[in-house]
């Protein structure tokens, strides 16, 4: 009775304003919590780093070196700042962990060794780096070697894996940065995108969208994105994966565009591999200005969030890939009962 009376007395426009205001306050409240958690735990402010922070930074710097070694044209003495940072982080981490020769430490040492070995094959000696690497390797004398650096892949072996069981198929998923001169046909990309549509999405809303970019439009991406330097000459097409924000409801679904978009993205990567298309997923972690710049350049609607990009191409007969060693599975699993 009271509610009906209120509806009769108060104008409908005022009631709608109240509902919208409460919804907006809910979004702001949850967004502020997001900011607090991210600033507290991520590497945003100048503060004491946790072991998790250090390990993330160590792995990222190691990846930069492996990525550089996997390119078709490797620049000598590249990544000097990354090498210095790896050594610094290893020394800091040794004073924070009990196991001085765990999987992560051996992985990082392997990356330094791979960097040294590559330069030695080119007749370049790095005595200072060799000395520092030997010092850091001390705790690991006789320990099993962790795959680091790069590995050579034959197209014939990679293609065979696509008709194997899923375990073999998934273990042959690599970020590929060397492509042949023949672009992937759009018809093949359409087939892969169609297959990726089997990915789950919240309430089957299917918010994911894909833009096939090539030609002059591709040049706009290459000019804006920093993560594809060093192999841009091999790139003929890029898929831009977005998520339509209009598909989601309420404040509590604010992360759902990225969750659904990420699920779709991984399904698309596997689908492309199934059709023998090489891929390299490129993140899109940029500021507002650059995000707006790309959307305007490509004519993307503002209602869509860019999830990531996928460089696609036909692979050559042989190519190098980064080893990108994974963490020990026991480190990412915790049973709860």
Instruction: Give residue for tokens 């409240």.
Output: 29
What pLDDT shows up at residue 145?
82
Between the alpha carbon of residue 28 and those of residues 17, 24, 35, 41, 285, the distances in Å are 16, 6, 10, 20, 22
Let me know if residue 329 belongs to a domain: no
| Domain co-membership, 99 together with 200 | no
Letter string b/e over residues 322-333, b meaning 16 or more CB atoms within 10 A of that residue's CB: bbbbeeeeeeee
> How does residue 58 score in pLDDT terms, banded at 50, 70 and 90?
very high
Residue where one domain finishes, among candidates 148, 171, 192: 148
For residue 6, pLDDT over 70 is answered with: no
List pLDDT tens digits, range 130-177: 999 999 998 887 788 888 999 999 999 999 888 889 999 999 999 999
Average pLDDT over residues 40-57: 91
Strands 237-244 and 208-214: antiparallel
| Global confidence as pTM | 0.92
Within this chain, do residues 214 and 142 fall inside the same structural domain, yes or no? no
For residue 1, pLDDT beyond 60: no
Q: Which of 4-18, 212-226, 250-264, 322-336 has the lowest mean pLDDT?
A: 4-18
Buried b (16+ CB within 10 A) or exposed e, 223-235: eebeebebbeebb
- Asked if residue 192 is part of any domain, the answer here is yes
Co-location of 17 and 142 in the same domain: no
The last residue of a domain, from among 116, 148, 180:
148
Residue 245 lies in a domain: yes
Q: What is the pLDDT of residue 7?
A: 67
Same domain, 91 and 165: no
Q: How confident is the model at residue 69 (pLDDT cuts 50, 70, 90)?
A: very high
pLDDT in tens, 304-315: 999 999 999 999
Say whether both 96 and 224 belong to one domain.
no
Can you give the residue range of the structural domain that contains 221? 152-321
Which of 216, 222, 244, 195 has its CA nearest to residue 311?
A: 222
Give me the mean pLDDT over the 306-330 stretch: 95
Residue 334 lies in a domain: no
Strand-pairing partners, residue 241, are 210, 308
Phi-psi region of 318 (alpha: psi -120 to 50; beta: other; left: phi over 0): beta
- Classify residue 327: in a domain, yes or no: no
Average pLDDT, integer, range 114-121: 96
Q: State yes or no: pLDDT of 277 exceeds 80.
A: yes
How does pLDDT run across 160-172, given as a tens digit for each residue? 888 889 999 999 9
**Are residues 166 and 282 part of one domain?**
yes
Output the six-digit token pair for 296. 């305007």
- Whether 331 is covered by a domain: the verdict is no
Nearest to 159 by CA among 73, 278, 280, 77: 278
What average pLDDT does the structure give for the chain?
93
What spatial distance separates the first Cα and last Cα of the chain, rounded to whole Å? 48
Answer yes or no: is pLDDT of 8 > 90.
no
Based on the domain organization, do 162 and 299 belong to the same domain?
A: yes
pLDDT at 2 over 80: no
pLDDT at 226: 77
How do strand 318-322 and strand 304-313 relate by DSSP bridges? unpaired
What local confidence, expressed as pLDDT, does residue 163 receive? Answer: 83
pLDDT tens, position by position, 83-107: 999 999 999 999 999 888 899 999 9
Do 246 and 297 fall into the same domain? yes
70 plus 135 within the same structural domain? yes
Q: Lowest-confidence range among 47-51, 310-314, 315-319?
A: 47-51
> What pLDDT, on a 0 to 100 scale, did the predictor assign at position 126?
96
**pLDDT confidence of 48, banded at 50, 70, 90?**
confident
Q: Are residues 209 and 96 in the same domain?
A: no
In a domain, 335, yes or no: no
Residue 131 counted as domain residue: yes
The total number of structural domains in the chain stands at 3
Give the pLDDT mean for 241-269: 96
Q: What is the arithmetic mean of pLDDT over 30-53? A: 91
CATH of the domain at 220: 3.40.109.10
pLDDT at 9: 77
Quick check: 270 pLDDT over 80?
yes
Domain match, 69 and 200 both: no
Report how far apart, in Å, the C-alpha atoms of 192 and of each of 45, 167, 182, 300, 318 are: 41, 20, 18, 22, 23
| Residues 185-242 pLDDT 10s | 999 999 999 999 999 999 999 999 999 999 999 999 998 887 788 898 899 999 999 9
Same-domain pairing of 89 and 17: no
């Amino acid at each position: 009775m009271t509610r009906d009376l209120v509806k009769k007395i108060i104008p409908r426009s005022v009631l709608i304003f109240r509902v919208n205001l409460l919804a907006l306050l809910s979004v702001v409240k949850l967004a502020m919590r997001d900011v607090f958690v991210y600033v507290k735990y991520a590497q945003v402010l100048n503060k004491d780093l946790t072991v998790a922070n250090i390990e993330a930074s160590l792995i990222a710097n190691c990846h930069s070196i492996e990525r550089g070694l996997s390119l078709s044209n490797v620049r000598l003495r590249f990544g000097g700042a990354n090498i210095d940072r790896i050594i610094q982080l290893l020394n800091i981490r040794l004073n924070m962990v009990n196991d001085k020769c765990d999987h992560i430490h051996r992985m990082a040492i392997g990356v330094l060794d791979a960097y040294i070995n590559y330069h030695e094959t080119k007749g370049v000696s790095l005595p200072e780096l060799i000395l520092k690497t030997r010092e850091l390797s001390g705790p690991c004398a006789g320990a099993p070697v962790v795959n680091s650096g790069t590995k050579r892949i034959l197209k014939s072996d990679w293609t065979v894996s696509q008709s194997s069981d899923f375990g073999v198929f998934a273990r042959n998923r690599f970020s590929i940065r060397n492509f042949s001169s023949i672009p992937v046909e759009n018809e093949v990309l359409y087939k892969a995108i169609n297959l990726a549509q089997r990915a789950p999405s919240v309430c089957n809303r299917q918010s994911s969208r894909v833009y096939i970019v090539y030609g002059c439009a591709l040049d706009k991406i290459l000019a804006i994105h920093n993560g594809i330097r060093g192999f841009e000459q091999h790139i003929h097409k890029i898929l831009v994966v977005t998520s339509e924000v209009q598909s989601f409801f309420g404040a509590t679904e604010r992360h759902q565009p990225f969750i659904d978009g990420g699920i779709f993205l991984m399904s698309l990567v596997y689908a492309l591999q199934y059709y023998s298309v090489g891929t390299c997923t490129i993140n899109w972690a940029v500021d507002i200005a650059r995000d707006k710049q790309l959307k305007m350049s490509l004519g993307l609607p503002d209602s869509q969030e860019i999830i990531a990009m996928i460089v696609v191409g036909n692979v050559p007969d042989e190519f190098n890939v980064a080893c990108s060693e994974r963490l020990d599975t026991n480190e990412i699993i915790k049973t709860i009962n």
